[in-house]
Structure 1
Amino acid sequence: MHSSNNNSSVSDILADKGVPKRQKLSVTEKIGYSLGDLAANLIFQTLMAFLAFFYTDIYKIPPASASLIMLIGGVVGACFNLAMGAIADRTNTRWGKFRPWVLWTAVPFGIISLLAFSTPGFNEGGKIAYAFITYFLLVIVYSANNLPYSALSGVLTGDMKERNSLASYRFVAVMIAQFTIQVLLLPLALSLGGGDKASGFEKVMLVFAVTGVICFIITFLTTRERIAPPKEQKTPLKQDLADLGANKPWIIMLVLTILVFTTLATKGGMNIFYFKYYLTEASQVEFLDIVGFNSIISGLSNIFPPHAFEEFTKPGSAPYAVASFTSAFSTISMILGIFLSKPLADRFGKRNIYGCFLALSAICLIAISFYSNAAVVAVFVTQIIHGFLYGITIPLLWAMIADVADYSEWKNNRRATAIVFSAMIFGLKVGLSVGGALSAWLLGIFGYVPDVAVQAESATNGIRMLISTIPGLIFIAGAILLFWYPISKETELQIEKDLRERRESGSEIRTEIVE
């Protein structure tokens, strides 16, 4: 394709050939689809940020038992994703392949989410058994819901610019959920529970569960599947797996997904350690005075019950307050970055923008390793810049995975959307598990001792590396990997053009609207 056509959409190209434009998504459908991610991430982000705290500090399960529950649940969930991909691809209803699963799992997801964060008064053995059963059920229903939901983005439209737009809507919803969990969940739990964290968590999860069920139903009602394989297509699972093994973009995206989520788990898990043990408390107290944090809390305490924000007013609470304050502004800057993702990807291609901004965000992380333990303002500003740069990449990962499903169809004349996404979500969960295990293992290597006022210098330096240099280098490895990713902007346009012509002619995968 000539460079002069780089800024032309495929719809325009095909219109010139007499093929009508189609598959443009309405704002209603984009918002409706994104609400599914809001619902899922109210639960997923809570699991990421608070499950260990909930098990050990609220439900009083021994840490070793809590760790084992989460490890087994993570492995089960990762493996079940692969099976769920095969199941979803072979689901055939009048509503399509993937939308029904969003509907069928909505209520079970809400109920099990509530049960997983409830605290029935069993003995220690009963608590461990209850936590294991509810977490096991939660990861299963989460996979049954989220895998088809993710795959749905690959069949709503074949227009890659529309996919870029859809991904931006979707991840604004993710960031709203992340902001809610990281900044507001603990105050909400304390407020609704009257200072009782166990009661507060149950009430917050009830609100999240009801909100999630409503959002999933709206997603089902407002979306339509438009890309579907012909009814006569009968592809054995063995053939699907063989297609994946020969799909170079899929292999690269799988490795990239593992690297990205290993980085996120490593950095995210070390965040509170960094503020608590590396940055000095005096410098953080001074920072809170500069930004007027205490005045903000005082004003909020006039609106909410006083105990809602007591965690931020206790002696020694400055690290928690600075960590929350920094997370809030970093998340807002990520949302701003997401808004730039689509126009940049449309102009320069998803691969180029993803690799460039992943590397730039990595440079920000590495820069933190050079800051002193009193440079709280520098850390705050750098985290905001990092959030903005990384936010630009957030929608593109999943849009690129949808492109990989198209690439497989383009090469093999067979479509297996869900199994492509299931393998990527498998990579996501592997990355989260590896990142969590890596950070815990390295903390031990660096000489970290839990619950001591002052850590050894080797431990504080190790914590600094785990939030900066190590995740930064992993991000750079991911950016370098994209040099071998073959789906450039020109290739995107060619794939979209060829598949659109096949669907219009009816010779291969058909395009239809499933009500």
Structure 2
Amino acid sequence: MASNSKSSVEKRLSKGILPWNERLSYGASDFACSFTFSLIGTYLMYFYTDVFGITAAAVGTLMLVARVIDAFDGPFWGIMIDHTHSKWGRSRPFLLWFNAPFTIFTILCFTTPDLPMNWKIVWAYVTYIGIGVLYSAVNIPLTSILPSMTINPDERVLLSTIRSLCSNFGGTLISVIALPLVTLFGGGDNPRRGFFLVAVMAALVFFVIYLVVFANLRERVQTLESQKPLPIKKSLKALKRNWPWLIVIGLNFVYWLGMQTKGQVTIYFFKYNLDRPELVSFALLFNAIGLVSVFLTPYVVMKLGKKKTLLAGLAISIVGQLILGLGAQILNIPIVIVGTIVGNFGNGFIGALIAVLLADAVDYGEWKNGVRAEGIVTSASSFTAKFGMGIGGAITGLLLSMGHYIPNKSQSPAALFAIEANYVWVPMLALVLSLILILFYSLTPAKEKEMMAALTQKHARENQTN
């Protein structure tokens, strides 16, 4: 009986179908990432301006500088992955090596030493830049390992779906519980202590989950390149005429720019524009609507294909922003909530497919150029997403500064419009630009089928040679 069970598992693995413990571990990895980094993305700007006491202009500049640095750290980690050759594979070791450093810096970001203003800004620079660099070190391997886990395209969609479900759940959970926990841990009058203890909790969750993830994931797609360090010059060949890759990283930059401006002013919008700060956690709870569309993604992709599914998600998100804009104009909370629900439903399709398209870009680079470079191809995803988020942060800081935003005071009409622009109109423009980009995506299902057949034959020949 045991022998039959083992034979069944081996048969499924030969088809690129992974066991459930590995699928769930892959998903848990992004639960951990979102649980910590959504705390930073949603609340850190508010923490800096309204709790730590740094000006909005200084925070916006910080976020821009940090993302310029990411222009170097993203490709750096990609090159490091391509150069890594260990008994654990290329990407997997990074999940272990940088677990503890990321955990520590998550806590430091919400630590508030009693310093003069200039030194507060220095502290913010060191900790925020540090967490950005370390996030690349723990998150880029999650994308780069996907094409190494399986070459089965349906399994990749399923893995990315599970990852997106877990990511959405982790981000929604911390967004909803963070402020109540800040109040609980801070006693209602000490938000510094409250935010610090919430960060400690989130960091420990990340640390434990990442140990489990490292233990369970495996790199199974072995090629000549994956069995030895890949020189930089050779790895860069994977990007030559890699049009799917260019489209996806362009989408990643524009989309996350818009999502960052929206996410980090959510608390401002409900606190100042709607004068209902107690509804922040309630509104963020509707991020979970994205779980429905993420769950539906594999089925919709089977009917429509990846490109049409992504276009549909972007179109739905645009409609959601339009509804949200109407609610913001007339200050109608039910309409704002409806817009939030519709937009989050569309966002679920987008988040579920970005990692899949990047995995396809790895295969495309190998198919066209003969070089399989998971690290350099997928690291651009982290870089462009974070660079977009940094530009989004800078835009938020600039608009708030131009609107003469003053923390914890009644805001002027100009400041209220600056908050609304960040929450509604900048994300709207980003979604429209993203949709236009995907219209040019040219890796059709027929071409993908041809590509996968050619790569399967190539890998079989290489394995026989070795």
TM norm. shorter chain > 0.5: yes
CA contact (8 A) 1:78 1:425 kept: no
2:383 pairs with 1:389: no
Match of 1:238 among 233, 236, 242: 233
Match of 1:336 among 278, 287, 292: 292
Output the amino acid matched with 2:253.
Answer: I
**Poorly superposed stretches of 4+, deviation over 6 Å:** 507-510
C-alpha deviation, 1:271, in angstroms: 3.2
The residue number in structure 2 matching 1:206 is 200
Q: Distance in 2 between matches of 1:360 and 1:484?
A: 19
The residue number in structure 1 matching 2:146 is 153
2:392 pairs with 1:435: yes
Structure 2 matches for 1:117-132, cutoff 5 A?
117-132=110-125
2:18 alignment partner, SS class? coil
Match of 1:249 among 244, 251, 255: 244
1:119 alignment partner, SS class? coil
Render the CA deviation track for 1:308-331: whole Å, top value 9, x for unaligned: xxxxxxxxxx2x223331221x21
C-alpha deviation, 1:338, in angstroms: 0.9
Render the CA deviation track for 1:243-301: whole Å, top value 9, x for unaligned: 4142111111111111111211232244344434544x5xxxxxxxxxxxxxxxxxxxx
Structure 2 matches for 1:74-473, cutoff 5 A?
74-195=67-188, 196-230=190-224, 235-279=230-274, 281=275, 318=276, 320-328=277-285, 330-371=286-327, 372-442=329-399, 447=403, 449-450=405-406, 453=410, 455-456=412-413, 460=416, 463-473=419-429
Q: Distance in 1 between matches of 2:410 and 2:57?
A: 23
C-alpha deviation, 1:76, in angstroms: 1.8
CA shift in 2, pair 1:33/1:349, >3 Å: same
Q: As a proportion of its length, which structure holds more helix?
A: 2
C-alpha deviation, 1:437, in angstroms: 2.5
Q: Distance in 2 between matches of 1:467 and 1:125?
A: 29
TM-score (norm 1): 0.80
Q: Distance in 1 between matches of 2:52 and 2:222?
A: 46
C-alpha deviation, 1:407, in angstroms: 0.8
Output the amino acid matched with 2:284.
Answer: S
Render the CA deviation track for 1:89-126: whole Å, top value 9, x for unaligned: 11000110011110111122212222332233444454
2:148 alignment partner, SS class? coil
Output the amino acid matched with 1:327.
Answer: L
Identity across matched positions, percent: 28
Q: Distance in 2 between matches of 1:243 and 1:325?
A: 45
C-alpha deviation, 1:162, in angstroms: 0.7
Output the amino acid matched with 2:318.
Answer: A
Q: Number of paired residues?
A: 452
Q: Distance in 2 between matches of 1:69 and 1:203?
A: 24
TM-score (norm 2): 0.88
Q: Distance in 2 between matches of 1:59 and 1:274?
A: 19
The residue number in structure 2 matching 1:483 is 439
List runs of 5+ in structure 2 lacking aligned partners: 1-10
CA shift in 2, pair 1:216/1:377, >3 Å: same
Output the amino acid matched with 1:101.
Answer: F
CA contact (8 A) 1:228 1:509 kept: no
Q: Distance in 1 between matches of 2:437 and 2:54?
A: 41
Output the amino acid matched with 1:109.
Answer: F
User: Which structure is larger by alpha-carbon Rg, 1 or 2?
Assistant: 1
CA shift in 2, pair 1:218/1:75, >3 Å: same
Render the CA deviation track for 1:44-75: whole Å, top value 9, x for unaligned: 11211222233343334455554444333332
The residue number in structure 2 matching 1:291 is none
- RMSD over aligned CA atoms reads 2.8
Output the amino acid matched with 1:432.
Answer: M
List runs of 5+ in structure 1 lacking aligned partners: 1-17, 282-317, 511-515
CA shift in 2, pair 1:43/1:509, >3 Å: farther
2:224 alignment partner, SS class? coil
Output the amino acid matched with 1:260.
Answer: Y
CA shift in 2, pair 1:278/1:244, >3 Å: same
1:453 alignment partner, SS class? coil
Render the CA deviation track for 1:444-474: whole Å, top value 9, x for unaligned: 66x5543563533x66556545433442243
Output the amino acid matched with 2:72.
Answer: C
